[in-house]
Amino acid sequence: MAKKKTAVDFEQSLAALQGLVEKLESGELSLEDSLTAFEQGVALTRDCQQALSQAEQKVSLLTERQGQPVTEPFDGPTE
């Protein structure tokens, strides 16, 4: 279940960050409210970075063979 919680937390944090950016870009917030929103944005950015780092580490572990990283070409869908 920890996997789903991390994914949900990432999605929620990203959505909240996007909302904060929109508010800041609107220019309608006072200076104090802008600073508060910016602080919240920094915290959300750190949370998202941490979740992405954990996902990257997991992918690295899953793609290792005998302790060595294995790279394989990604062949996406062809049209």
- Give the model's pLDDT for residue 68: 77
pLDDT of residue 15: 95
How does pLDDT run along the chain (79 residues), one tens digit per residue? 455 666 668 999 999 999 999 999 999 999 999 999 999 999 999 999 999 999 888 888 888 777 777 777 767 666 5
pLDDT score, position 43: 94
- In angstroms, the CA 77 to CA 79 distance is 7
Residue 79: predicted pLDDT: 58
Name which of 72, 74, 69, 45 is nearest 56 in CA terms: 69
Residue 74 tokens read as 């990604």
